[in-house]
Structures are given as C-alpha cells and as structure tokens.
Amino acid sequence: MQLSVIILNYNVRFFLEQCILSVQKALQGIDGEIIVIDNHSSDDSCAMMKKLFPSVTLIENKENLGFPKGNNIGVAQAKGEYVCILNPDTVVAEDTFTKILAFAKSKTNLGIVGCKLIDGTGAFLPESKRGVPTPWVAFTKIFGLYKIFPNNSLFNRYYAQHLTPNQTGKVDILVGAFMVLKRELYNEIGGFDENCFMYSDDIDLSYMALQRGKENYYFHETTVIHYKGESTVRDGTYMRRFQEAMNFFYKKHFSKSVLFDVFMKIGAFVFSLLKKNQQKNKELLIEQYVVFTNDNLKINVEQSVDYCAGFEFFKNDLKQNYELVFDTTSFSFKAIIAFMEQNQSKNTTFKNYIYASNFRIGSNSANDIGKIIFCEN
C-alpha cells in the first residue's frame, strides 16, 4: 500500500465530512487507505462516519487522548509505505497526494514533506513552512521582527522566509495539519511525543527528523485549505496548553538556564495572549450571493443570488460584498482552491456546498471558528 491518510477528529463533524470527500477523490488511482481516529467527540461525528463512509476505518477513543496519542493510535493501524497526518478541517486537491508522493519518492534522504496551505479566505498560511524556534527565532516571532526585516536571515527564520510561498525547498519545521513521511521514519522517531498534549508536537516531530539527518521539505506545487480556527479556539485552555507545549519543547531539546526559562515563560504568555486576542468572528454583511453550479442545483441562500455555470462568468467589481458558494458536485476541489487563491479580497467570503448533507461550510478568517449553514429545501 502506498499511502495511509490519518485524520484525528474532535467535534468537527461537518468539516470532517468535507475532508473525507476531498481525500477520497485525491486517493483515486492510489493504493491507499483512510483512518479516522475520533477523540471521544460529543457531536455525531462517529454516526456520520458509519452512515456516509462505512468503508473508512474508524477508531473510536473513549476519551480525548490529545493530538499525539490519537495520531499514534492511527499510525499503528496503518499499512501504507507513507503516512499523511491530516487535520479534519482541511480540504485537499484531487492531485495533492499524487504530486506529494512523486516528490517524496524523488528524494533519497527524505524526512517530512509539507505543502502550501491557505485559510478559508484563500490567504497563504505562513506556518506552512517554519524554522526551528530557538530562543532567538522565538524572540523575532514574538516581537514581530520577522515582519520588519523579512529579507534578513537574522530575523526571518521563524517562517522560513528564505523561501517564498511559491518556491519549493528545504525547511526545518512543517505544520501538523498536513505532513507526509515514511511510516518507517515515523515509527523510528517514535511518532508524536505523547508527553505533549498538543501545539508543539509537529515542531518536535519535524525536529526529531532533522536530528536523524533527514531533510524536511516545503512543496508548493499543491495547495490545501486549512480552515484552522475550527481546531484552535483561543480560550483560557488554549493559552495554558500553548505555554505548556512551548516549555515542553525547549526543556526537551535545549540546555536549561534560569534566564532562558524566564524568557520563555514571558514569551509563551505574550504569544498565546496575542493569539487569543486575534480570535474574532468576522461577519461581513453580504450584499450578493453567487452560486457556482453547472447542474441547475438551486442551493438556497439568504437573499439576492446569481447562478454561474463556470468561474469565467464571475467578475468581482469590488463595490459590494460577495459570498461565493461552490457546488462541490460540479467543480473539483482543485479548481475551487485555485479560484479562492486567485480571487481573495476583503469583500469576498467563500463557502463550499456539500450535497450529501445539504450544508454550506467555510471560514471567514484563519482566527475564527468555521461556519456551517444548513440549506433548507
């Protein structure tokens, strides 16, 4: 078997449904499998999986075991030569896995491969590629120096700015929303460190691959949507766990010193506080809905709506606020993702329509909880 896609779910039933639909399309022509691990969700995620995706392997944990252990449980059941760690609040393109696997097989000393990630607005997510967050690199991130000096190698390492978003190359750290590596390497490292509940586990896994002499890569030739805000609500628990995660990584991999510990406690607190303050539900007053469908599918929306049979019929005049709705039975996820990248703007939001369960889904900001709108017939 070529590829095992490991998806750890916790209370994101509708994002999970969309994710599985995109993964199934992307696995066509590939000898692969999907393994979903549910961390004791209180919604009907498991019931949905059994009803809509009975052929997908479902592991139901009896408690929330955290990101590392949940994924380790999934990989333990995997049969693929490669594994893809994938968040449930993602959408992959139809050729994502084909391209990633071809790239991975072309490397002789491969560690982990990540790809280009965008949020629900079509904007590039800089955490798609990162450097090792040493004390200095963390300092440049916390105090925004990477923004002031984006072309200076002394300050731009946190987001691996030696590479542009549209340039493939070696990086140190990949994000846990999408990581592809050989299952053999995953097991050699020991998987995600279960002593870390979440938030620094992807940094740790990437760093452990580097310590084994492997080379990690950012691959820009395929794009994946990561709604992000759905799985990272910035509340008090988030702040506490983020601080614990950063402290865990530094204590594990760097020399201990009193000054260093003080700096990291202050830095982790400031950074997590900033993240919490970024959490905002962005509401755009929609003046015009545009539904892209070529199946004469009348998707119910709130008001004023145009129906377009193809993307070429739409032109954003920037004079009013649009919500663009994509019928995913009419257009490929790859085409939808490309259109989002090309048409991102402050006056436009995007939603995907999922026919099987009759809902629209998306996110208006990387820092917001995603939005699900049920479409009444």
One DSSP character per residue, 273-339 reads HHHHHH---------EEEEE-SS------SS-EEEESSGGG----SSS-EEEEEETTTS-HHHHHHH
pLDDT for 258: 65
> What sign does the CA torsion over 19, 20, 21, 27 have?
positive
Cα 209 from Cα 218, distance rounded (Å)? 14
pLDDT level of residue 230 (50, 70, 90 thresholds): low
pLDDT for 211: 96
Q: Is the pLDDT of residue 170 over 90?
A: yes
Find tokens 């026919």 and name the residue.
355
Find tokens 């449904």 and name the residue.
17
* Residue of higher predicted confidence among 230 and 274: 274
On average, the pLDDT of the chain sits at 89
pLDDT for 80: 98
Three-state secondary-structure class, residue 347:
coil
Segment 1-11 mean pLDDT = 97
Q: Is the pLDDT of residue 204 over 90?
A: yes
Nearest Cα neighbor of 173 from 138, 224, 222 is 138
Q: 8: number of CA atoms within 13 Å, CB side?
A: 24
Q: Is the pLDDT of residue 243 over 70?
A: no
pLDDT for 136: 81
pLDDT level of residue 239 (50, 70, 90 thresholds): low
| Residue 17, beta-bridge partner list | none
Q: Is the pLDDT of residue 326 over 80?
A: yes
pLDDT for 236: 55
Backbone φ and ψ for 158, nearest 5 degrees, come out as -60, -45
Cα 377 from Cα 368, distance rounded (Å)? 28
